[in-house]
Chains A and B, each alone.
Chain A
């Protein structure tokens, strides 16, 4: 079945630094979503990407939908302590039922 590989698995950075994480797949996705999950909470949508090559920003977050439709990256600029959490990429599966396939997650820790 379709799978996503997300990297890095974890990051420990200093406040103010920029962060980049990415997801790759061997198969094509038509939509990429980036979520953040805080402890004990459900995933919260950060950015949605619908077109190959699309570059979208949401405040300090920027994400791109790879031109091959097999990858996506998320950048966070000027990180702050509240950026701490787990970031997941998710691809919309090919079945058209709305099934999301998630990456393994990137755990981000920010040192003040």
Chain B
């Protein structure tokens, strides 16, 4: 069964450093997402991406965050200057169709980001 692949599985970084979280969505999917889950809390939407541009972003997704699909297969989330409160699990997701159907909405296994 097709999978969304995320690397690394765990990243430890010092406060103020830049991190790039990587995702390989399912190959024929068109819509891509990043979500965040702080330990013990619910999954929160960060950003959606379609046709090489951001289609929606949440309040969490401030100027420190950016996303990119550099080569048609990878989908990255960059945090420019990490803060302690950025520590969380970050999930990438992709789907073939957005909107009402959302068929095949698949999540990766996540990257645990720890900012020290």
Contact = CB atoms under 8 A, between A and B. Distances in A.
Contacts of A44: 107
Given A42-B110, A43-B91, A92-B100, A98 B105 contact: yes
Contacts of A45: 105-106
A96 B98 contact: yes
Contacts, number: 73
B44 interface: yes
A48 B44 contact: no
Contact of B98 (A48, A97, A104): A97
B75 interface: no
A79 to B, nearest CB: 23
A33 B112 CA distance: 24
A77 B7 CA distance: 36
B107 A101 contact: no
A66 interface: no
Given A33-B102, A98-B98, A99-B45, 18 more contacts: A30-B100, A31-B100, A33-B105, A40-B109, A40-B110, A45-B105, A45-B106, A50-B101, A90-B43, A92-B102, A93-B45, A95-B56, A97-B98, A98-B95, A99-B56, A100-B35, A101-B45, A103-B42
Interface of A: 30-31, 33, 35, 40-45, 48, 50, 88, 90, 92-93, 95-105
